Amino acid sequence: MNMREPDLGAICSAFEIEGRFLGSCPVPSGHINETFCSAFEASGRTARYVNQRINHHVFKEPEKLMDNMERVTRFARGRIEAAGGDPMRETLNLVPARDGRSFHRTPGGDYWRTFHFINGARTYDRAENLGLVYSASRAFGAFQKMLSRLPGARLHETIPDFHHTPKRFAALQAAAARDRRNRAASVRGEIGFVLEREGLVGRVIDGLAEGRIPERVTHNDTKLNNVMIDDLTGEGVCVIDLDTVMPGSVLYDFGDSVRLGAATAAEDERDLSRVGFDLNLFDRLAQGYLDAARDFLEPAEKELLAFSGLLLTLECGIRFLTDHLDGDVYFRIHRDGHNLDRARTQFKMAAEMERKMDEMEAVVRKYL
């Protein structure tokens, strides 16, 4: 993790931005990259930008990542224009660097990119209301549908095996065996919770490997707060955080959206009595997603939608617990035990989903 306070004025000068630099501030969200917002004054108006330093320890080939992002945003822009939409709001727009590339590499080896700021919309870290959840889920479904027509070569895998749940399971076992920080004894219960569920972890990846589940272009990080919601209409305007847009299964996206979209508390809530899975929120997620995606999904995908919520929640908990055992080297933490707190919320939700799986299946059927 790189904690140097960056000089945003200098970073911005590497990009094709007009006007006078007014200032910048950090945007404290996301566990991987670092995000800032900067403001410029040009011809009497203020324009804002989003600047991000890519975590190149996590995304080991930033050039390939940016190649994906250029392709995806260019394609999205064309589709939005053809549909009469506003391409400056409905997709991310990269500001090119002065050397013509889509990113800037500093002499110190950091990778930066800049987006136009999207006005009149914001993100939500919690499922504050049912309408919000419907809108966000529908936006993710529409995003997948749009990308199902992306022409050209297969996208780069920006993180190989990102949602390979059996490998995540094995990584947890390895971390527990290494026990680098002597933490395994204190999390026996959590490790045991995962080990008991070994039988679940292969269900999507095996379907993909056997060709029963189609590989598609997916987002792979469909947290509620990765959709900008319009301040006036409450609709999903723009899907953001495109770092992990790559080949995958739609089940990764729907399943991962359940973690936050159907949660009664924050991802890192310490009071587990507040943490839970809410079937009404899940209902909104399912309808929103299927209203956009119903017509292109295959039966093998539809069949596993409810299960995917459980699987991806379990997977994310496995990842948090693994990082806790390894000494918090992957996800940025803000307090001691933060990754363990995150793992516990995921496991609590996963356990509730197991108990409510029949009801979840019924919800999905209702909207198919």
The residues binding Mg ion (CB under 5 A) are: 221, 241
Q: Which is nearer to ligand GN1, 40 or 330 (CB)?
A: 330
Q: Which is nearer to ligand GN1, 104 or 223 (CB)?
A: 223
User: Whole-number minimum distance, CB 60 to ligand GN1, in Å?
Assistant: 11
C-alpha angle 325-164-75 in degrees, rounded to nearest 5: 120
Strand ranges (DSSP E) for the chain?
A: 20-27, 34-42, 45-54, 104-105, 111-116, 121-122, 216-218, 227-230, 236-239, 246-248
Q: Measuring CA to CA, which residue among 54, 79, 78 is closest to residue 66? A: 54
- DSSP type of residue 336: T
Provide CB contacts within 8 A for 148, sequence distance 6+.
Answer: 216, 217, 296
Q: Which is nearer to ligand GN1, 243 or 352 (CB)?
A: 243
Cα separation, 212 vs 207, in Å, equals 5
Q: Which is nearer to ligand GN1, 14 or 266 (CB)?
A: 266
Q: Which is nearer to ligand GN1, 302 or 319 (CB)?
A: 319
User: Whole-number minimum distance, CB 31 to Mg ion, in Å?
Assistant: 8
Q: Which is nearer to ligand GN1, 243 or 269 (CB)?
A: 243
Q: Which is nearer to Mg ion, 221 or 341 (CB)?
A: 221
User: Whole-number minimum distance, CB 313 to ligand GN1, in Å?
Assistant: 10
- Reading the block at residue 286, the tokens are 């399912």
Q: 95 contacts which partner out of ligand GN1, Mg ion, none, CB within 5 to 8 A by kind? A: none
- Taken in order 363, 130, 348, 34, the sign of the CA dihedral is positive
Residue 94 three-state SS: strand
Q: 97 contacts which partner out of Mg ion, ligand GN1, none, CB within 5 to 8 A by kind? A: none
User: Whole-number minimum distance, CB 215 to ligand GN1, in Å?
Assistant: 19
Cα separation, 137 vs 235, in Å, equals 10
Instruction: Calculate the dihedral angle through the C-alpha atoms of 124, 321, 359, 298, rounding to the nearest 10 degrees.
Output: 80
User: Whole-number minimum distance, CB 132 to ligand GN1, in Å?
Assistant: 18
Q: 269 contacts which partner out of Mg ion, ligand GN1, none, CB within 5 to 8 A by kind? A: none
Q: Which is nearer to ligand GN1, 75 or 252 (CB)?
A: 252
Provide CB contacts within 8 A for 31, sequence distance 6+.
Answer: 331, 332
Measured from the Cβ of residue 225, the count of other Cβ atoms closer than 10 Å reads 18
- DSSP type of residue 314: H
Q: 58 contacts which partner out of ligand GN1, Mg ion, none, CB within 5 to 8 A by kind? A: ligand GN1
- Reading the block at residue 253, the tokens are 């996206």
User: Whole-number minimum distance, CB 214 to ligand GN1, in Å?
Assistant: 22
User: Whole-number minimum distance, CB 220 to Mg ion, in Å?
Assistant: 8
What region does 34 belong to: left with phi over 0, alpha with psi -120 to 50, or beta? Answer: beta
Cα separation, 316 vs 330, in Å, equals 13
User: Whole-number minimum distance, CB 225 to ligand GN1, in Å?
Assistant: 8
- Reading the block at residue 161, the tokens are 């095996």
Q: 303 contacts which partner out of Mg ion, ligand GN1, none, CB within 5 to 8 A by kind? A: none
User: Whole-number minimum distance, CB 140 to ligand GN1, in Å?
Assistant: 14
Q: 31 contacts which partner out of Mg ion, ligand GN1, none, CB within 5 to 8 A by kind? A: ligand GN1
Q: Which is nearer to ligand GN1, 40 or 320 (CB)?
A: 320
- Binding region for ligand GN1 (CB under 6 A): 30-32, 58, 221, 223, 241, 243-244, 267, 316
Q: 323 contacts which partner out of Mg ion, ligand GN1, none, CB within 5 to 8 A by kind? A: none
User: By beta-carbon distance, which residue lies closest to Mg ion?
Assistant: 221
